[in-house]
Copies of this chain bind each other. A is one copy, B any other.
């Protein structure tokens, strides 16, 4: 084990006291230190290759410069849901913004006994970003951690936490409205589980509103709810293809679901958009990779990550803001998967 260079070593090398080294390294402005002394210390730091130990510093300042990113897992395997490229894009954006302010990202799932607040305490996290909280119980647990929190994609009424959302309901409305404008009346919804506080319930609400405005009654047989995965979309393609009274259009609440659906329909010899029209949600690169390119509700994931990082870092800087909530715009991007009928 190579010995770590310590503040003591720097002091010896520069011929000054340990306190002086500490003042210089921590850029303290409440102490006057002669410029030539500062220079001597800085040269010693460079010469010996001193790197501050954030662990030790954390104990002193109670700051670790560590942000936890909690991401849901797949139900079956308890692996993080990175097959949906949304999460990867979000992580990239968050890490990019956080690194500008010297924060690092700790990745964590929440597995059974290992609650959010426990991870936060164990790791002395400065703050937490949670994407897709599962339940109000989890939010209560998060508050116990007593550090700044940003909830992404959560529509609960809780106060005391920061929230970043997109116009989920409007997204659902825009998709269904577009189908209606193109002459469709039998419009299905393919979605993840519809949890009360979740984004899918909002998108479902928007979809229902558009249908109601058009005088179309609720039809539970047109709602398909499962995991947000390529595999579920694939399965659904087969199910929808075999329906006697099949929908002419399907709004999928994620592009990855739409991709699976299109493939599942193709396996049953149904073409998109000739036989079934499809709209996705996210408009990530998957939408462009689809063939034909996917009509989708666009959300700006990079922006979502950027705003999440900003809200958390502002809260950590303690700017006197108790909580903030940001809702980002969505829009419909027309491509090749919707046919006028």
Contact = CB atoms under 8 A, between A and B. Distances in A.
Interface of A: 1-2, 4, 51-56, 58-59, 64, 66, 77-83, 85, 87-89, 91-93, 95-96, 99, 104-109, 111, 114, 118-119, 121-124, 144, 146, 230, 259-260, 262-263, 266, 285-286, 288-291
B105 A107 contact: yes
Nearest to A96: B79
A124 B54 contact: yes
Nearest to A94: B107
B92 A82 contact: yes
A285 B83 contact: yes
Contacts of A92: 79-83
A53 B124 contact: yes
B87 A55 contact: no
A115 to B, nearest CB: 10
A55 B55 contact: yes
A105 to B, nearest CB: 5
A230 B289 contact: yes
A122 B51 contact: yes
Contacts of A286: 289
- Lowest 9 A-B CB distances belong to which pairs? A82-B88, A88-B88, A51-B121, A80-B92, A79-B92, A291-B291, A55-B124, A2-B146, A105-B107
A11 to B, nearest CB: 19
A108 B69 CA distance: 13
A170 B290 CA distance: 30
A123 B104 contact: yes
Contact of A288 (B52, B121, B263): B263
B80 A91 contact: yes
Contact of A289 (B64, B80, B289): B289
Contacts of A54: 122-124
23 contacts: A2-B144, A2-B146, A52-B122, A54-B124, A55-B64, A55-B123, A77-B96, A79-B96, A80-B88, A80-B92, A80-B95, A81-B92, A82-B91, A83-B92, A96-B109, A99-B108, A106-B106, A107-B107, A230-B285, A259-B289, A262-B291, A289-B289, A290-B291
Given A51-B122, A79-B95, A81-B92, 17 more contacts: A2-B146, A52-B122, A53-B121, A53-B122, A54-B124, A55-B59, A79-B92, A80-B95, A82-B92, A83-B89, A83-B92, A88-B88, A99-B108, A105-B106, A105-B107, A106-B106, A266-B291
Contacts of A52: 122
A230 B288 contact: yes
A234 B183 CA distance: 34
Contacts of A2: 144, 146
Contact of A95 (B107, B119, B263): B107
Given A104-B107, A263-B291, A4 B121 contact: yes
Nearest to A50: B121
